[in-house]
Amino acid sequence: MSAEVVTPNNLDARLARENQPQPPETRERIEAEYEEEDDVETLKYGAKHVMMLIVPVSVCMMLVIAIIRTVTMYDQGPQQQVYLVYTPFNENNKDISTGSPVSDAVLNMLIVVSLVVVMTCFLVLLYKYRCYKIIYGWLFLSSLILLFMFSFIYLQEVIVRFNVAMDYITCGYIVWNFGVMGIISIFWKGPLILQQAYLVITSAFMALVFIKFLPEWTLWFLLGGIAIYDLFAVLCPKGPLRILVELAESRNEPIFPALIYSSTVMWTITGMTEPSDPNYNQLNESNSSSSPPGNTAPPPNRAPNNTAPNNTGTQEHDPEMEPAEQGVKLGLGDFIFYSVLVGKAATADDWNTVMACFFAILIGMCLTLLILAVVKRALPALPISIFVGILFFVGTRFCIKPFCDRLAIGQVYI
């Protein structure tokens, strides 16, 4: 449902249908009423879309926090020796390290961001030349590893942590059913809520990989670097994510289901969302593991159960296939890096810092949607939330926490 937009043409048409001559004062009053109704509808659906994003992002961050607090495997300790191959510079590698954690972190960040840029451009080229089978194979393999291997590793850690007796056959049966159901839900058919749950879980697993296998300084610099790159990728006229979204819109095709979180079923037979539509405020971006974080923009419509898109660009009408409403879409890259920030704060063993970062990210999301409603153009979804979250982390960790500790030692209560 969307509010009717008042234009001179449809206003004249309505007045003509009513067959009532209207003076200019009445015309202005009717136009003002239409504009007021349109603002109310925009506010209503904008708030609803905000909630559709806050809930899954909150669930993903809470899942990462719960895993880190219950399983010690993902909490880096002094004995941490294994890191990703993309981060050769770290203080534990004396042969390559520059001797300064800051310079090591900057070099590692540049390597990882460069890799993200290359993989994103490669994905855009594949999409431009319609190499869909390669893209689906790439995403399928990534999801397969996350849903099977990482879930098996996590289940093993849970069994050890809580001292649960379980044989390998039972463990394999659980992992097999969990993984197969996830693959079917994401790439084929399944309830929307199940697909959403698996996308959130895969994002949480990927965030845990970054938290575990990235050096501490590198991780913080990477959060800032990927947010800056997000600005370039979305706002630059030749940015890869902007090109990807424009290609999808021009072809009226859906972006691949393993890259985005969708709040509702999107049908391809409906027309594209226009800026005058209150459903314009939708988020759409790519997964950082396959492509970097994306943008806040109106996405192309998505067929239910991943059916083939309508490439003709024409609108067809079928009463049985009319969607109830447009859905909100958010790239899994945002889920991952939001969870990385909160999860890293959770390793500091300070709940004040964790909650500060948690709410800072949600505040950043709301600010992003607010700016989107004003400017009505594609916006990156990461920078505001990441920079506000880092600011809250530093302020809470190094200012508020010591202050509260001194109050507790002095038995001063405010």
Q: Which residue out of 38, 39, 95, 230 is catalytically annotated?
A: 230
Model confidence over 171-186: pLDDT tens digits?
Answer: 999 999 999 999 999 8
CA–CA gap between residue 301 and residue 257 (Å, rounded):
12
Compute CA 273 distance to the chain's CA centroid, rounded to the nearest angstrom.
20
DSSP-based three-state secondary structure for 380: strand
- Catalytic residue list contains 230: yes
Per-residue b/e over 221-253, b at no fewer than 16 CB within 10 Å? bbbebbbbbbebbbbeeebbbbbbbebbbeebb
- Catalytic residue list contains 334: yes
Q: Which residue out of 104, 277, 334, 350 is catalytically annotated?
A: 334
For residues 140-158, average pLDDT: 90
* Mean confidence (pLDDT) of the chain: 76
- Global pTM value: 0.75
Model confidence over 184-212: pLDDT tens digits?
Answer: 998 888 888 898 899 999 999 999 989 98
Q: Is the pLDDT of residue 62 over 90?
A: yes
CA–CA gap between residue 190 and residue 238 (Å, rounded):
36
Q: Looking at per-residue confidence, does 289 or 343 come out higher? A: 343
